[in-house]
């Protein structure tokens, strides 16, 4: 039988592949061409073959499905780090393109064939959501209540499969742990008193192979679990595996307390049809010890270090170690604008690690969502506000919505801004007006809004991100330099007004920073690439200086510190810049690459 196996080099994919090949089926392995997958593919032998491709490309999917009798669709972006390095919950729209869009492409390709193959779709018990308040077990007839993007994608795909007109079977997997030396931080997401049903990955591979050869599974939704011997509480499952690996039981405080989407399953029908429940947790532990081999002795030897590293992966443990407030309790609040850009993003992550509840403000909703997911995965608190600060009304929205989210702000970081490079007279007025709105008006409006609230409460800090060019007027950046000069003067004046109070205002004056600033400047109408990218510092360096200003307030700080000489450069060498500046800009205009804003 010719079988297409998507996601063939994943956890379940490898188990299914091994069993199908053992039985003599011709298996076409469809997966992304990653280094790890290529290494796995080198071990393949006939009758298996590889078809590299992307589920988002219909042509790749159509070529892979051609000539197959059965399609086993396993490929899916999951809620933990996948082979792509990104999880479904951090980038839901991107994950949906692969999970839902890819499944749609696969169904379309199968239906277009003269003899459409049958389809086995791998789903998950996550579709039931949190069910710890209900008596077990879960059945195939139970209502689905997905609580995460991954599970919602599974439910949507199940509906497509049922409506496809193909011969189909849906398998909802229980907890399938990989046979690999990998302790994932997702282990801390499950409360210790949560019901969980373990099923050995090799048994799932056996079930899939039996389903491929069965005539009785089509049109059925079957639950795959290890059966009553493998119906456990997570405390026992976790304790036994960690003990077998030499790590030992971890503190209860490292684990979540909110119920997780796992439960015990009614596998009566699936076992009767597929005869796959052959292994228990004891078998898995034995297999894991074989995989780990001599490294178990190293783990025991380095046990304190291993336990320390593991506990660092736990959001709850990090929160307790840093005395961070639990969600829902008061926290220090930081509002960071430009958080979808490099400096703002790095600053938001740094302040979240410092214990602040961060309100991330920016234009790009997708980038903000990823930032929030990263903060939350690290045990912090964050919320996204997608607004366009070139609209003055957005400033009031930021102030009001941020206050509603977490309460009055303790810190405001004005990082939003962009640049443009070229002869002043060629700068389109709409670009100039937008720059004034974002770099000047928004900074002033937000500063004054939050300042009034901070003074009333008797504490707070405002940090405005300026630029070294604010004190060094530069050819090609006339308006941008002027906006940053405004930020310098505005901040300095407020700093002097607030001397002696518990509210501080500071300005950070970075030089070139590694970011999309240069590329964005190059994309704006009539603009050119800003020079200096090769000397740029990391955005994390700027974020570190911003965090330092909260501990030791000062009127200004340069990044890097050597740029403190800039005022003296203008004072002593301004005459030379007057002469060389136009020459450099003219050369750039004649031979330099055309560019835009950043």
What pLDDT was estimated at residue 518?
46
Domain 331-591 grouped into CATH 3.40.50.720 = yes
Tell whether the model's pLDDT for residue 477 goes beyond 70: yes
pTM: 0.62
Tell whether the model's pLDDT for residue 82 goes beyond 50: no
Listed by start position, the domains of the chain span: 2-179+199-233+261-280, 331-591
pLDDT one-digit tens code per residue, 387-437: 999 888 899 999 999 998 888 999 999 999 887 777 778 888 888 899 899
Write the burial class of residue 577 (CB in 10 Å: 0-12 exposed, 13-18 middle, 19+ buried): middle
pLDDT one-digit tens code per residue, 15-70: 999 999 999 999 999 999 998 899 989 888 888 899 999 999 999 999 999 999 99
Take residue 6 and report the two structure tokens written for it. Answer: 């998507």
Among 84-93, 165-174, 475-484, the least confident range: 84-93
Half-sphere exposure at residue 510, Cβ-oriented, CA atoms within 13 angstroms = 26
Fold of 2-179+199-233+261-280: Rossmann fold (3.40.50)
Tell whether the model's pLDDT for residue 256 goes beyond 70: yes
Residue pair 172/223 in contact by the 8 Å Cβ criterion? yes
What pLDDT was estimated at residue 419?
78
Average pLDDT over residues 105-131: 96
What pLDDT was estimated at residue 305?
92
How sure is the predictor about 582, in pLDDT bands with cuts at 50, 70 and 90?
low
278: Cβ contacts below 8 Å, ≥ 6 apart = 200, 203, 206
Average pLDDT over residues 269-273: 98
CA nearest 566: which of 468, 478, 480, 473? 468
Among 100-109, 456-465, 468-477, the least confident range: 468-477
Tell whether the model's pLDDT for residue 504 goes beyond 50: yes
Average pLDDT over residues 576-585: 55
**Cis peptide leading into 137, omega within 30 of 0?**
yes
Percent of the chain with pLDDT over 90: 57
Tell whether the model's pLDDT for residue 313 goes beyond 90: no
Q: What is the distance between the alpha carbons of residues 145 and 143, in angstroms, rounded to a whole number?
A: 7
Which letter does DSSP use for residue 127 in this model? G
One fold for both 2-179+199-233+261-280 and 331-591? yes
What pLDDT was estimated at residue 284?
96
What pLDDT was estimated at residue 16?
96
3-class DSSP state of 198: strand
Tell whether the model's pLDDT for residue 207 goes beyond 70: yes
How sure is the predictor about 183, in pLDDT bands with cuts at 50, 70 and 90?
low
How sure is the predictor about 90, in pLDDT bands with cuts at 50, 70 and 90?
low
Tell whether the model's pLDDT for residue 563 goes beyond 90: no
Relative to beta strand 195-197, strand 231-233 is antiparallel
pLDDT one-digit tens code per residue, 142-155: 999 998 899 999 99
Residue pair 350/547 in contact by the 8 Å Cβ criterion? yes
pLDDT one-digit tens code per residue, 217-250: 999 999 999 999 999 999 999 999 999 999 999 9
Beta bridge partners of residue 513, listed in sequence order:
537
Instruction: Give the residue numbers annotated as catalytic, written as ranges.
Output: 480
- Go through 470-497 and write b for each residue having 16 or more CB atoms within 10 A of its CB, e for each that does not: bbbbbbbbbbbbbbbbbbbebbeebbee
What pLDDT was estimated at residue 573?
61
CA 579 distance to own-chain centroid: 48
What's phi and psi for 29, nearest 5 deg?
A: -90, 115
pLDDT one-digit tens code per residue, 509-556: 988 776 554 444 444 444 444 444 445 788 888 999 999 999 888 898
Tell whether the model's pLDDT for residue 567 goes beyond 80: no
Tell whether the model's pLDDT for residue 138 goes beyond 90: yes
130: Cβ contacts below 8 Å, ≥ 6 apart = 145, 147, 258, 259, 260, 261
Q: What is the distance between the alpha carbons of residues 146 and 130, in angstroms, rounded to a whole number?
A: 8
CA nearest 509: which of 492, 533, 496? 492
Percent of the chain with pLDDT over 70: 85
What's phi and psi for 367, nearest 5 deg?
A: -65, -40
Q: What is the distance between the alpha carbons of residues 89 and 454, in angstroms, rounded to a whole number?
A: 35
What pLDDT was estimated at residue 320?
64
Take residue 318 and report the two structure tokens written for it. Answer: 């990090």
What pLDDT was estimated at residue 348?
94
What pLDDT was estimated at residue 551?
85
pLDDT one-digit tens code per residue, 329-353: 446 899 999 998 889 999 999 999 8
Residue pair 262/127 in contact by the 8 Å Cβ criterion? no
Average pLDDT over the chain reads 86
Which letter does DSSP use for residue 178 in this model? -
What pLDDT was estimated at residue 515?
59
């Amino acid at each position: 039988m010719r079988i297409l196996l998507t996601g063939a080099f994943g956890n379940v994919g490898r188990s299914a592949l091994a069993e199908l090949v053992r039985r003599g089926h011709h298996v076409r392995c469809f997966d992304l061409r990653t280094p790890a997958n290529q290494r796995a593919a080198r071990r393949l032998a006939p009758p298996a073959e590889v078809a590299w491709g992307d589920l988002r490309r219909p042509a790749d999917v159509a070529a892979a499905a051609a000539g197959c009798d059965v399609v086993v669709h396993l490929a899916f972006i999951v809620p933990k780090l996948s082979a792509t390095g990104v999880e479904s919950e951090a980038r839901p729209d991107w994950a949906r393109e692969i999970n839902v869009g890819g499944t749609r492409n696969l169904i379309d390709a199968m239906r277009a064939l003269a003899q459409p193959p049958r389809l086995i779709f791998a789903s998950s018990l996550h579709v039931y959501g949190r069910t710890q308040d209900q008596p077990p077990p879960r059945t195939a007839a139970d209502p689905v209540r997905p609580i995460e993007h991954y599970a919602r994608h599974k439910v949507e795909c199940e509906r497509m499969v049922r409506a496809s007109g193909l011969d189909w079977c849906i398998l909802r997997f229980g907890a399938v742990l990989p046979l690999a030396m990998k302790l994932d931080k997702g282990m801390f997401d499950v409360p210790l008193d949560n019901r969980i049903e373990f099923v050995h990955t090799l048994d799932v591979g056996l079930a899939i192979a039996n389903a491929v050869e069965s005539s009785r599974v089509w049109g059925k939704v079957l639950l795959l679990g290890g059966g009553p011997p493998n119906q456990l509480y997570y405390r026992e499952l976790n304790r036994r595996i960690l003990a077998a690996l030499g790590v030992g039981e971890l503190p209860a405080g490292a684990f979540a307390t909110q119920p997780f989407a796992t439960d015990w399953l009614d596998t009566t029908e699936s076992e009767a049809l597929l005869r796959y429940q052959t292994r228990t947790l004891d078998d898995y532990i034995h297999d894991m010890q074989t995989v780990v081999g001599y490294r178990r002795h190293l783990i025991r030897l380095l046990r304190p270090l291993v336990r320390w590293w593991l506990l660092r992966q736990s959001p709850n443990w990090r929160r307790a170690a840093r005395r961070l407030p639990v969600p829902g309790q008061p926290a220090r609040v930081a509002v960071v604008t430009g958080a979808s850009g490099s400096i703002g993003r790095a600053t938001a992550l740094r302040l979240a690690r410092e214990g602040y509840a961060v309100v991330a403000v920016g234009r790009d909703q997708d980038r903000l969502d990823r930032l929030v997911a990263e903060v939350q995965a690290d045990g912090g608190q964050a919320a996204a506000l997608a607004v366009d600060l070139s609209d003055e009304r957005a400033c009031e929205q930021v102030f009001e919505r941020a206050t509603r989210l977490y309460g009055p702000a303790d810190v405001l970081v004005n990082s939003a801004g962009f640049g443009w490079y070229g002869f002043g007279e060629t700068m389109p007025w709409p670009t100039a007006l937008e720059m004034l709105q974002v770099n000047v008006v928004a900074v002033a409006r937000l500063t004054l809004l939050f300042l009034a609230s901070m003074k009333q409460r008797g504490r707070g800090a405002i940090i405005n991100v300026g630029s070294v060019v604010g004190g060094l007027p530069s050819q090609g950046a006339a308006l941008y330099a002027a906006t940053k000069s405004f930020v310098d003067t505005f901040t300095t004046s407020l700093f002097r007004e607030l001397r002696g109070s518990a509210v501080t205002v500071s300005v950070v004056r970075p030089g070139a920073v590694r970011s999309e600033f240069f590329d964005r400047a190059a994309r704006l109408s009539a603009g050119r690439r800003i020079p200096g990218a090769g000397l740029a510092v990391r955005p994390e360096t700027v974020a570190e200086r911003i965090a330092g200003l909260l501990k030791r307030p000062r009127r200004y700080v340069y990044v890097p510190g050597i740029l403190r000489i800039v005022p003296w450069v203008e004072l002593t060498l301004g005459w030379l810049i007057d002469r060389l500046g136009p020459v450099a800009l003219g050369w750039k205009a004649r031979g330099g690459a055309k560019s835009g804003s950043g």
